[in-house]
Amino acid sequence: MAGVFAGSLDAFRSEQRWWKNSVIYHIYPRSFQDSNGDGNGDLSGIRSRLDYLDYLGVKIIYLSPIFKSPMVDNGYDVSDFMDVNPMFGTMEDFESLLQDIHSRGMKLLLDFVPNHTSDQHDWFLESRSNRHNPRREWYIWRDAASDGTPPNNWLSVFGGSAWSLDRKTNQYYLHQFFKEQPDLNFRNPDVVNATKEVLGFWLDKGVDGFRVDAVPHLLEDEEFRDEPVLASYDTSHPQYKDLDHQFTCNLDDVHGIVRGWRQFCSMYRNPYRLLIGEILCGNETAMSYYGHHKPEFNFPLNFSLIGLKKGITALEISEKVVKYLNDVPKGKWPNWLLGNHDCKRVGTRMGQANLPAMTVLYLTLPGTAVMYYGDEIGLMDADISKGEINDSRDPCRGIMQWENAENYGFSQAKKLWLPGTDNNKTNVEVQKLDETSMLVLTRKILKLRNAEKAFHGLNFRLIHVDSSILAYTRSTWLSKYVVIINFGSRIWSGGLERGLKKKGVVIIDSSTIMAEGTELDMNRISIHPGHALVVKIK
Protein backbone atom coordinates (compact mmCIF):
# COMPACT_ATOMS: atom_id res chain seq x y z
CA MET A 1 0.00 0.00 0.00
CA ALA A 2 1.24 3.48 -0.85
CA GLY A 3 2.27 5.36 2.26
CA VAL A 4 3.21 8.79 0.98
CA PHE A 5 0.94 11.34 -0.67
CA ALA A 6 2.56 11.75 -4.09
CA GLY A 7 3.38 15.32 -5.06
CA SER A 8 2.73 16.61 -1.55
CA LEU A 9 5.35 19.33 -1.59
CA ASP A 10 4.32 20.63 -5.02
CA ALA A 11 0.99 21.91 -3.74
CA PHE A 12 2.55 23.22 -0.53
CA ARG A 13 5.10 25.25 -2.46
CA SER A 14 2.49 26.65 -4.83
CA GLU A 15 0.74 29.95 -4.11
CA GLN A 16 -0.64 29.84 -0.58
CA ARG A 17 -4.34 30.50 -0.07
CA TRP A 18 -6.15 31.47 3.12
CA TRP A 19 -8.39 28.38 2.94
CA LYS A 20 -5.52 25.89 2.98
CA ASN A 21 -4.58 26.20 6.65
CA SER A 22 -8.02 26.63 8.22
CA VAL A 23 -11.08 24.61 9.14
CA ILE A 24 -14.34 25.49 7.39
CA TYR A 25 -17.22 25.51 9.89
CA HIS A 26 -20.54 24.59 8.24
CA ILE A 27 -23.59 26.25 9.81
CA TYR A 28 -27.16 25.30 9.05
CA PRO A 29 -28.62 28.76 9.77
CA ARG A 30 -32.09 27.65 10.84
CA SER A 31 -30.59 25.47 13.59
CA PHE A 32 -27.70 27.48 15.02
CA GLN A 33 -29.12 30.32 17.15
CA ASP A 34 -32.49 32.06 17.30
CA SER A 35 -32.27 35.77 18.16
CA ASN A 36 -35.93 36.82 17.95
CA GLY A 37 -37.82 33.98 19.62
CA ASP A 38 -39.62 32.56 16.59
CA GLY A 39 -38.07 29.10 16.95
CA ASN A 40 -35.83 29.47 13.88
CA GLY A 41 -32.13 30.28 13.83
CA ASP A 42 -31.15 33.47 12.03
CA LEU A 43 -28.28 35.71 10.95
CA SER A 44 -28.30 37.83 14.10
CA GLY A 45 -28.14 34.62 16.11
CA ILE A 46 -25.04 33.54 14.21
CA ARG A 47 -23.54 36.98 14.80
CA SER A 48 -24.13 36.62 18.54
CA ARG A 49 -22.11 33.39 18.57
CA LEU A 50 -18.96 34.62 16.81
CA ASP A 51 -17.13 34.74 20.16
CA TYR A 52 -17.70 31.00 20.41
CA LEU A 53 -16.27 30.37 16.96
CA ASP A 54 -13.26 32.49 17.93
CA TYR A 55 -12.87 30.39 21.08
CA LEU A 56 -13.07 27.19 19.03
CA GLY A 57 -10.42 28.38 16.57
CA VAL A 58 -12.61 28.61 13.47
CA LYS A 59 -11.37 30.88 10.67
CA ILE A 60 -13.91 30.19 7.90
CA ILE A 61 -17.71 30.04 8.20
CA TYR A 62 -19.88 28.44 5.54
CA LEU A 63 -23.66 28.99 5.59
CA SER A 64 -26.28 26.75 4.03
CA PRO A 65 -28.66 28.83 1.87
CA ILE A 66 -29.90 32.11 3.35
CA PHE A 67 -31.65 33.38 0.21
CA LYS A 68 -35.35 34.18 -0.10
CA SER A 69 -37.26 30.90 -0.37
CA PRO A 70 -40.65 29.25 0.24
CA MET A 71 -38.61 26.63 2.15
CA VAL A 72 -40.08 23.59 0.37
CA ASP A 73 -36.53 22.20 0.41
CA ASN A 74 -35.29 24.24 3.38
CA GLY A 75 -33.74 27.02 1.33
CA TYR A 76 -32.51 24.99 -1.63
CA ASP A 77 -35.58 26.25 -3.53
CA VAL A 78 -34.55 29.88 -4.10
CA SER A 79 -37.15 32.48 -5.09
CA ASP A 80 -34.68 35.40 -5.10
CA PHE A 81 -30.92 34.87 -5.26
CA MET A 82 -30.22 38.50 -4.37
CA ASP A 83 -32.26 38.82 -1.20
CA VAL A 84 -32.24 37.33 2.29
CA ASN A 85 -34.98 35.02 3.51
CA PRO A 86 -37.02 37.04 6.06
CA MET A 87 -36.88 33.99 8.34
CA PHE A 88 -33.16 34.69 8.71
CA GLY A 89 -33.34 38.48 8.84
CA THR A 90 -32.66 41.34 6.46
CA MET A 91 -29.90 42.35 4.08
CA GLU A 92 -28.73 44.75 6.77
CA ASP A 93 -28.44 41.81 9.18
CA PHE A 94 -26.34 39.97 6.62
CA GLU A 95 -24.07 42.95 6.04
CA SER A 96 -23.57 43.39 9.80
CA LEU A 97 -22.72 39.71 10.16
CA LEU A 98 -20.24 39.87 7.29
CA GLN A 99 -18.60 42.98 8.71
CA ASP A 100 -18.18 41.35 12.13
CA ILE A 101 -16.78 38.18 10.58
CA HIS A 102 -14.20 40.14 8.62
CA SER A 103 -13.31 42.31 11.61
CA ARG A 104 -12.25 39.12 13.41
CA GLY A 105 -10.04 38.01 10.52
CA MET A 106 -12.54 35.32 9.51
CA LYS A 107 -13.96 34.50 6.07
CA LEU A 108 -17.52 33.77 4.94
CA LEU A 109 -18.73 31.32 2.29
CA LEU A 110 -22.28 31.09 0.96
CA ASP A 111 -24.15 28.14 -0.52
CA PHE A 112 -24.89 28.82 -4.21
CA VAL A 113 -27.77 26.76 -5.67
CA PRO A 114 -27.64 27.19 -9.47
CA ASN A 115 -29.20 24.00 -10.85
CA HIS A 116 -32.76 25.09 -10.16
CA THR A 117 -34.92 27.82 -8.68
CA SER A 118 -38.13 27.82 -6.72
CA ASP A 119 -41.28 27.67 -8.81
CA GLN A 120 -42.05 31.01 -7.11
CA HIS A 121 -38.99 32.74 -8.60
CA ASP A 122 -39.87 35.60 -10.96
CA TRP A 123 -37.87 33.88 -13.70
CA PHE A 124 -40.08 30.80 -13.56
CA LEU A 125 -43.32 32.73 -13.12
CA GLU A 126 -42.49 34.51 -16.37
CA SER A 127 -41.33 31.30 -18.04
CA ARG A 128 -44.59 29.46 -17.34
CA SER A 129 -46.84 32.45 -18.14
CA ASN A 130 -46.96 31.54 -21.84
CA ARG A 131 -44.92 29.72 -24.47
CA HIS A 132 -43.71 32.95 -26.07
CA ASN A 133 -42.35 34.67 -22.98
CA PRO A 134 -38.66 35.70 -23.39
CA ARG A 135 -37.82 33.60 -20.32
CA ARG A 136 -39.53 30.47 -21.60
CA GLU A 137 -36.15 29.08 -22.65
CA TRP A 138 -34.62 29.80 -19.25
CA TYR A 139 -36.12 26.49 -18.10
CA ILE A 140 -36.53 23.09 -19.78
CA TRP A 141 -39.94 22.58 -21.34
CA ARG A 142 -41.03 19.59 -23.45
CA ASP A 143 -44.19 18.30 -25.03
CA ALA A 144 -45.72 15.12 -23.68
CA ALA A 145 -44.88 11.77 -25.24
CA SER A 146 -47.25 10.55 -27.95
CA ASP A 147 -49.35 8.72 -25.34
CA GLY A 148 -49.65 11.85 -23.17
CA THR A 149 -47.18 10.68 -20.52
CA PRO A 150 -44.00 12.55 -19.49
CA PRO A 151 -41.44 13.17 -22.27
CA ASN A 152 -39.08 10.38 -21.16
CA ASN A 153 -38.23 8.07 -18.25
CA TRP A 154 -36.09 10.50 -16.28
CA LEU A 155 -36.65 10.36 -12.52
CA SER A 156 -36.32 12.87 -9.73
CA VAL A 157 -33.65 12.35 -7.07
CA PHE A 158 -36.48 12.71 -4.53
CA GLY A 159 -38.74 10.16 -6.23
CA GLY A 160 -41.22 10.01 -9.07
CA SER A 161 -40.94 11.45 -12.55
CA ALA A 162 -38.55 14.34 -13.14
CA TRP A 163 -41.29 15.98 -15.22
CA SER A 164 -44.39 17.90 -14.12
CA LEU A 165 -47.17 19.08 -16.39
CA ASP A 166 -48.02 22.77 -16.50
CA ARG A 167 -51.65 22.70 -17.53
CA LYS A 168 -51.77 26.37 -18.54
CA THR A 169 -49.22 25.95 -21.32
CA ASN A 170 -49.75 22.18 -21.73
CA GLN A 171 -46.05 21.31 -21.55
CA TYR A 172 -43.90 19.48 -19.04
CA TYR A 173 -41.04 21.17 -17.17
CA LEU A 174 -37.99 19.35 -15.82
CA HIS A 175 -37.16 19.15 -12.12
CA GLN A 176 -34.46 16.77 -10.96
CA PHE A 177 -35.46 17.39 -7.34
CA PHE A 178 -38.87 18.49 -5.96
CA LYS A 179 -41.50 19.61 -8.47
CA GLU A 180 -41.28 23.04 -6.83
CA GLN A 181 -37.63 23.22 -8.00
CA PRO A 182 -37.68 23.60 -11.80
CA ASP A 183 -34.29 23.09 -13.47
CA LEU A 184 -32.66 26.05 -15.19
CA ASN A 185 -31.56 25.63 -18.81
CA PHE A 186 -27.78 26.05 -18.77
CA ARG A 187 -27.60 25.64 -22.54
CA ASN A 188 -29.06 29.16 -22.67
CA PRO A 189 -26.25 31.78 -22.41
CA ASP A 190 -28.66 34.17 -20.69
CA VAL A 191 -29.00 31.73 -17.81
CA VAL A 192 -25.23 31.35 -17.48
CA ASN A 193 -24.84 35.14 -17.43
CA ALA A 194 -27.62 35.47 -14.86
CA THR A 195 -25.80 33.11 -12.50
CA LYS A 196 -22.64 35.20 -12.85
CA GLU A 197 -24.66 38.27 -11.93
CA VAL A 198 -25.75 36.47 -8.77
CA LEU A 199 -22.16 35.58 -7.88
CA GLY A 200 -21.06 39.14 -8.58
CA PHE A 201 -23.81 40.58 -6.36
CA TRP A 202 -22.51 38.69 -3.32
CA LEU A 203 -18.84 39.05 -4.20
CA ASP A 204 -19.32 42.81 -4.40
CA LYS A 205 -20.67 42.70 -0.86
CA GLY A 206 -17.43 41.02 0.22
CA VAL A 207 -18.34 37.33 0.42
CA ASP A 208 -15.18 35.22 0.31
CA GLY A 209 -16.44 32.34 -1.80
CA PHE A 210 -19.09 29.74 -2.46
CA ARG A 211 -19.96 26.10 -2.09
CA VAL A 212 -21.86 25.20 -5.28
CA ASP A 213 -24.77 22.80 -4.92
CA ALA A 214 -25.73 19.81 -7.11
CA VAL A 215 -23.12 20.52 -9.79
CA PRO A 216 -23.44 17.23 -11.77
CA HIS A 217 -27.10 18.00 -12.56
CA LEU A 218 -26.54 21.29 -14.41
CA LEU A 219 -26.94 19.88 -17.92
CA GLU A 220 -29.05 17.20 -19.57
CA ASP A 221 -28.95 15.33 -22.86
CA GLU A 222 -29.95 17.61 -25.72
CA GLU A 223 -31.87 14.77 -27.38
CA PHE A 224 -33.75 13.90 -24.16
CA ARG A 225 -33.13 10.17 -24.61
CA ASP A 226 -34.46 7.63 -22.10
CA GLU A 227 -31.87 6.61 -19.52
CA PRO A 228 -30.85 2.94 -19.47
CA VAL A 229 -32.59 0.90 -16.77
CA LEU A 230 -30.66 -1.35 -14.40
CA ALA A 231 -31.54 -4.91 -13.46
CA SER A 232 -33.17 -3.72 -10.23
CA TYR A 233 -35.65 -1.48 -12.07
CA ASP A 234 -39.29 -2.10 -11.14
CA THR A 235 -41.77 -0.54 -13.57
CA SER A 236 -44.44 -0.35 -10.85
CA HIS A 237 -42.16 1.52 -8.43
CA PRO A 238 -39.31 3.14 -10.41
CA GLN A 239 -36.48 4.43 -8.22
CA TYR A 240 -33.78 6.98 -9.04
CA LYS A 241 -31.07 4.49 -8.12
CA ASP A 242 -32.35 2.04 -10.71
CA LEU A 243 -31.45 4.18 -13.73
CA ASP A 244 -28.03 4.73 -15.31
CA HIS A 245 -27.94 8.54 -15.27
CA GLN A 246 -25.73 9.01 -18.30
CA PHE A 247 -28.11 11.61 -19.81
CA THR A 248 -28.81 13.74 -16.71
CA CYS A 249 -25.65 13.65 -14.62
CA ASN A 250 -22.03 14.72 -15.18
CA LEU A 251 -22.26 15.60 -18.84
CA ASP A 252 -18.94 16.81 -20.24
CA ASP A 253 -20.17 20.35 -20.94
CA VAL A 254 -20.78 20.94 -17.22
CA HIS A 255 -17.04 21.56 -16.88
CA GLY A 256 -17.25 24.55 -19.21
CA ILE A 257 -19.88 26.16 -16.97
CA VAL A 258 -17.75 25.61 -13.88
CA ARG A 259 -14.67 27.03 -15.64
CA GLY A 260 -16.69 30.14 -16.46
CA TRP A 261 -17.66 30.61 -12.81
CA ARG A 262 -14.08 30.07 -11.68
CA GLN A 263 -12.80 32.61 -14.21
CA PHE A 264 -15.43 35.09 -13.07
CA CYS A 265 -14.58 34.64 -9.37
CA SER A 266 -10.86 34.92 -10.16
CA MET A 267 -11.39 38.57 -11.06
CA TYR A 268 -11.91 39.16 -7.33
CA ARG A 269 -8.35 38.82 -6.09
CA ASN A 270 -8.28 40.79 -2.85
CA PRO A 271 -8.72 38.44 -1.16
CA TYR A 272 -8.67 35.45 -3.49
CA ARG A 273 -12.16 33.90 -3.60
CA LEU A 274 -12.81 30.23 -2.93
CA LEU A 275 -15.01 28.01 -5.09
CA ILE A 276 -15.85 24.49 -3.93
CA GLY A 277 -18.27 22.01 -5.47
CA GLU A 278 -20.70 19.36 -4.31
CA ILE A 279 -19.94 16.37 -6.56
CA LEU A 280 -21.74 13.31 -5.21
CA CYS A 281 -19.89 10.80 -7.39
CA GLY A 282 -16.98 8.43 -7.24
CA ASN A 283 -13.42 9.66 -6.84
CA GLU A 284 -12.54 9.58 -10.52
CA THR A 285 -15.48 11.76 -11.56
CA ALA A 286 -15.07 14.12 -8.60
CA MET A 287 -11.39 14.64 -9.37
CA SER A 288 -12.22 15.82 -12.89
CA TYR A 289 -13.82 18.91 -11.34
CA TYR A 290 -10.44 20.24 -10.24
CA GLY A 291 -10.03 20.94 -13.97
CA HIS A 292 -7.69 19.10 -16.33
CA HIS A 293 -6.30 21.97 -18.37
CA LYS A 294 -8.07 25.02 -16.98
CA PRO A 295 -8.98 25.51 -13.31
CA GLU A 296 -12.46 24.68 -12.11
CA PHE A 297 -13.16 24.20 -8.39
CA ASN A 298 -10.44 24.86 -5.84
CA PHE A 299 -11.62 21.51 -4.58
CA PRO A 300 -14.65 19.26 -5.02
CA LEU A 301 -15.94 18.14 -1.64
CA ASN A 302 -14.59 14.76 -0.56
CA PHE A 303 -17.32 12.37 0.61
CA SER A 304 -15.10 9.31 1.05
CA LEU A 305 -15.47 9.35 4.86
CA ILE A 306 -19.04 10.60 5.15
CA GLY A 307 -20.69 7.17 4.97
CA LEU A 308 -18.46 5.39 7.50
CA LYS A 309 -20.35 3.30 10.04
CA LYS A 310 -19.58 1.61 13.34
CA GLY A 311 -17.41 -1.48 12.97
CA ILE A 312 -15.21 -0.26 10.13
CA THR A 313 -11.58 -1.24 10.65
CA ALA A 314 -8.47 0.92 10.66
CA LEU A 315 -7.30 -0.94 7.56
CA GLU A 316 -10.48 -0.10 5.67
CA ILE A 317 -10.24 3.55 6.70
CA SER A 318 -6.58 3.74 5.68
CA GLU A 319 -7.44 2.32 2.25
CA LYS A 320 -10.03 5.05 1.73
CA VAL A 321 -7.61 7.75 2.89
CA VAL A 322 -4.68 6.61 0.77
CA LYS A 323 -6.83 6.02 -2.32
CA TYR A 324 -8.29 9.51 -2.08
CA LEU A 325 -4.90 11.18 -1.56
CA ASN A 326 -3.39 9.28 -4.46
CA ASP A 327 -6.35 10.23 -6.67
CA VAL A 328 -5.99 13.95 -6.01
CA PRO A 329 -4.25 15.42 -9.10
CA LYS A 330 -0.70 16.62 -8.64
CA GLY A 331 -0.59 20.14 -7.25
CA LYS A 332 -4.26 20.12 -6.20
CA TRP A 333 -5.65 20.45 -2.69
CA PRO A 334 -7.50 17.73 -0.72
CA ASN A 335 -10.28 18.14 1.82
CA TRP A 336 -12.16 16.06 4.39
CA LEU A 337 -15.58 16.02 6.00
CA LEU A 338 -17.43 13.61 8.27
CA GLY A 339 -20.94 15.01 8.05
CA ASN A 340 -23.25 17.60 6.56
CA HIS A 341 -26.92 18.62 6.39
CA ASP A 342 -27.94 15.60 4.28
CA CYS A 343 -26.66 12.56 6.20
CA LYS A 344 -26.76 11.02 9.66
CA ARG A 345 -24.42 12.69 12.11
CA VAL A 346 -21.07 10.99 12.62
CA GLY A 347 -21.85 10.18 16.26
CA THR A 348 -25.10 8.49 15.26
CA ARG A 349 -23.42 6.48 12.50
CA MET A 350 -20.22 5.57 14.32
CA GLY A 351 -21.30 5.67 17.97
CA GLN A 352 -20.21 8.29 20.49
CA ALA A 353 -17.36 6.09 21.72
CA ASN A 354 -15.65 6.52 18.34
CA LEU A 355 -16.04 10.29 18.09
CA PRO A 356 -12.58 11.17 19.48
CA ALA A 357 -10.88 8.85 16.97
CA MET A 358 -12.89 10.18 14.02
CA THR A 359 -12.35 13.80 15.04
CA VAL A 360 -8.59 13.42 15.35
CA LEU A 361 -8.54 11.64 11.99
CA TYR A 362 -10.23 14.20 9.77
CA LEU A 363 -8.69 17.20 11.53
CA THR A 364 -5.11 15.92 11.16
CA LEU A 365 -5.17 14.54 7.61
CA PRO A 366 -3.54 16.71 4.92
CA GLY A 367 -5.82 19.33 3.40
CA THR A 368 -8.79 21.45 4.43
CA ALA A 369 -11.30 20.06 6.95
CA VAL A 370 -15.00 20.94 6.82
CA MET A 371 -16.69 20.69 10.23
CA TYR A 372 -20.48 20.42 10.51
CA TYR A 373 -21.84 22.52 13.36
CA GLY A 374 -22.29 20.54 16.58
CA ASP A 375 -19.83 17.80 15.64
CA GLU A 376 -17.36 19.50 17.96
CA ILE A 377 -19.61 18.66 20.92
CA GLY A 378 -20.58 15.22 19.64
CA LEU A 379 -24.09 16.27 18.69
CA MET A 380 -26.23 13.30 17.67
CA ASP A 381 -29.23 13.17 15.37
CA ALA A 382 -32.18 15.05 16.87
CA ASP A 383 -34.84 13.10 18.75
CA ILE A 384 -37.80 13.40 16.39
CA SER A 385 -40.69 10.96 16.31
CA LYS A 386 -41.45 9.47 12.91
CA GLY A 387 -44.80 11.24 12.82
CA GLU A 388 -43.13 14.64 13.22
CA ILE A 389 -40.46 14.25 10.54
CA ASN A 390 -41.22 16.38 7.49
CA ASP A 391 -37.97 15.57 5.71
CA SER A 392 -35.91 12.41 6.14
CA ARG A 393 -32.88 14.63 6.69
CA ASP A 394 -34.41 16.55 9.61
CA PRO A 395 -32.64 14.55 12.38
CA CYS A 396 -29.14 15.66 11.28
CA ARG A 397 -30.33 19.29 11.21
CA GLY A 398 -31.35 19.51 14.87
CA ILE A 399 -30.68 22.62 16.94
CA MET A 400 -27.25 23.54 18.28
CA GLN A 401 -27.09 22.95 22.03
CA TRP A 402 -25.45 25.78 23.97
CA GLU A 403 -26.26 25.37 27.67
CA ASN A 404 -28.27 23.58 30.35
CA ALA A 405 -31.38 25.69 29.90
CA GLU A 406 -34.74 25.51 28.19
CA ASN A 407 -34.20 24.68 24.53
CA TYR A 408 -30.48 24.45 25.32
CA GLY A 409 -30.13 28.21 24.93
CA PHE A 410 -31.01 28.01 21.23
CA SER A 411 -34.29 29.88 21.49
CA GLN A 412 -36.87 31.29 23.93
CA ALA A 413 -39.72 30.11 21.72
CA LYS A 414 -42.26 27.59 23.00
CA LYS A 415 -42.13 25.70 19.72
CA LEU A 416 -38.91 25.11 17.78
CA TRP A 417 -38.67 24.20 14.13
CA LEU A 418 -36.68 21.10 15.21
CA PRO A 419 -35.74 19.72 18.65
CA GLY A 420 -32.37 18.77 20.10
CA THR A 421 -30.96 15.43 21.27
CA ASP A 422 -32.27 15.34 24.88
CA ASN A 423 -28.79 14.87 26.33
CA ASN A 424 -27.80 17.38 29.01
CA LYS A 425 -24.08 16.72 28.58
CA THR A 426 -24.10 17.50 24.88
CA ASN A 427 -23.87 21.27 25.11
CA VAL A 428 -21.18 23.92 24.95
CA GLU A 429 -21.57 25.21 28.52
CA VAL A 430 -20.96 21.82 30.15
CA GLN A 431 -18.20 20.76 27.80
CA LYS A 432 -16.17 23.95 28.19
CA LEU A 433 -15.64 22.96 31.82
CA ASP A 434 -14.84 19.30 31.13
CA GLU A 435 -11.26 18.57 30.07
CA THR A 436 -12.37 15.17 28.77
CA SER A 437 -15.07 16.57 26.49
CA MET A 438 -15.29 16.52 22.71
CA LEU A 439 -15.33 20.32 22.67
CA VAL A 440 -12.04 20.64 24.54
CA LEU A 441 -10.47 17.96 22.35
CA THR A 442 -11.63 19.66 19.15
CA ARG A 443 -10.36 23.03 20.35
CA LYS A 444 -6.95 21.53 21.13
CA ILE A 445 -6.67 20.03 17.65
CA LEU A 446 -7.72 23.27 15.96
CA LYS A 447 -5.20 25.21 18.05
CA LEU A 448 -2.49 22.75 16.99
CA ARG A 449 -3.32 22.77 13.28
CA ASN A 450 -3.70 26.55 13.23
CA ALA A 451 -0.24 27.03 14.73
CA GLU A 452 1.93 24.16 13.48
CA LYS A 453 3.24 24.24 9.89
CA ALA A 454 3.53 20.46 9.88
CA PHE A 455 -0.28 20.43 9.54
CA HIS A 456 -0.36 23.18 6.89
CA GLY A 457 1.36 21.33 4.09
CA LEU A 458 0.47 18.03 2.49
CA ASN A 459 3.31 15.85 3.72
CA PHE A 460 1.77 12.57 4.88
CA ARG A 461 3.37 9.20 5.53
CA LEU A 462 1.54 6.08 6.63
CA ILE A 463 3.72 4.24 9.15
CA HIS A 464 1.48 1.58 10.68
CA VAL A 465 -1.89 0.01 9.91
CA ASP A 466 -3.69 -3.10 11.10
CA SER A 467 -7.32 -3.88 11.89
CA SER A 468 -7.28 -1.56 14.92
CA ILE A 469 -4.48 0.98 14.57
CA LEU A 470 -3.85 3.67 11.98
CA ALA A 471 -0.69 5.73 12.42
CA TYR A 472 0.85 8.37 10.18
CA THR A 473 3.22 11.31 10.30
CA ARG A 474 2.70 14.96 9.45
CA SER A 475 5.92 16.92 9.13
CA THR A 476 8.11 19.68 7.79
CA TRP A 477 11.88 19.64 7.70
CA LEU A 478 11.81 21.33 11.13
CA SER A 479 9.26 19.18 12.98
CA LYS A 480 7.51 15.82 12.89
CA TYR A 481 4.25 14.70 14.48
CA VAL A 482 2.87 11.19 14.74
CA VAL A 483 -0.89 10.60 14.84
CA ILE A 484 -1.92 7.20 16.25
CA ILE A 485 -5.61 6.25 16.24
CA ASN A 486 -7.27 3.18 17.73
CA PHE A 487 -10.39 2.20 15.78
CA GLY A 488 -10.57 -1.16 17.55
CA SER A 489 -12.69 -2.31 20.49
CA ARG A 490 -9.83 -2.99 22.92
CA ILE A 491 -6.88 -1.17 24.44
CA TRP A 492 -3.94 -1.40 22.06
CA SER A 493 -0.36 -1.61 23.29
CA GLY A 494 2.67 -1.73 21.06
CA GLY A 495 5.51 0.12 19.43
CA LEU A 496 5.97 2.35 16.39
CA GLU A 497 9.72 2.33 16.18
CA ARG A 498 9.95 2.05 12.37
CA GLY A 499 11.63 5.14 11.01
CA LEU A 500 11.06 7.09 14.22
CA LYS A 501 13.22 8.21 17.09
CA LYS A 502 12.58 6.35 20.30
CA LYS A 503 11.23 9.31 22.26
CA GLY A 504 8.31 11.64 21.72
CA VAL A 505 6.26 14.19 23.61
CA VAL A 506 2.50 13.85 23.97
CA ILE A 507 0.73 16.87 22.49
CA ILE A 508 -2.82 15.47 22.55
CA ASP A 509 -4.21 12.39 24.26
CA SER A 510 -7.92 12.24 23.46
CA SER A 511 -8.51 9.94 26.44
CA THR A 512 -6.79 12.57 28.69
CA ILE A 513 -4.84 9.83 30.50
CA MET A 514 -1.50 11.41 29.61
CA ALA A 515 -1.02 15.13 30.11
CA GLU A 516 0.38 17.37 27.41
CA GLY A 517 4.17 17.33 27.57
CA THR A 518 4.43 13.76 28.85
CA GLU A 519 7.51 12.01 27.47
CA LEU A 520 6.59 8.86 25.58
CA ASP A 521 8.66 5.82 24.62
CA MET A 522 7.56 5.14 21.03
CA ASN A 523 8.15 1.41 21.62
CA ARG A 524 5.67 1.38 24.54
CA ILE A 525 2.42 3.02 23.52
CA SER A 526 -1.03 2.32 24.94
CA ILE A 527 -4.24 3.73 23.44
CA HIS A 528 -7.81 3.15 24.55
CA PRO A 529 -10.42 2.11 21.95
CA GLY A 530 -11.98 5.00 20.05
CA HIS A 531 -9.16 7.34 21.04
CA ALA A 532 -5.98 8.82 19.59
CA LEU A 533 -2.59 10.26 20.39
CA VAL A 534 -0.77 13.12 18.69
CA VAL A 535 2.93 12.95 19.54
CA LYS A 536 5.75 15.32 18.62
CA ILE A 537 8.92 13.41 17.86
CA LYS A 538 11.97 14.70 19.70
**Which amino acids are annotated catalytic?**
213, 278
Angstrom distance (rounded) from CA 219 to CA 237:
26
Residues 138, 189: Cα–Cα separation, whole Å: 9
Q: Cα separation of 15 and 446, whole Å?
A: 23
Between helices 438-451 and 355-364, what is the axis angle to 10°? 10
Q: Which strand (E) or helix (H) includes residue 111?
A: strand 107-112
Alpha-carbon span 334 to 354, nearest angstrom: 24
Burial 20-35 (b: 16+ CB within 10 A, else e): bbbbbbbbbbbbbbbb
Distance CA 250, CA 206 (A): 31
What distance lies between CA 199 and its chain's CA centroid? 19
CB atoms closer than 10 angstroms to residue 149: 13
CA distances from 11 to 5, 16, 343, 480, 504 (A): 11, 9, 31, 19, 28
C-alpha dist (Å) from residue 203 to 112, 208, 312: 12, 7, 42
**What is 138-204 written as a DSSP string?**
GB-EEPPPTTSS-SS--B-TTSSBSEEEETTTTEEEE-SS-TTSPBB-TTSHHHHHHHHHHHHHHHH
Backbone dihedral angles phi then psi of residue 116, each to the nearest 5 degrees: -150, 170
Could you say which DSSP state residue 369 is in? E
Dihedral over alpha carbons 390, 163, 139, 259 (to 10 degrees): 80
Distance spanning both ends of the chain, measured CA to CA: 27
Apex CA 471: angle with CA 468 and CA 477, to 5°? 180
Distance CA 430, CA 187 (A): 53
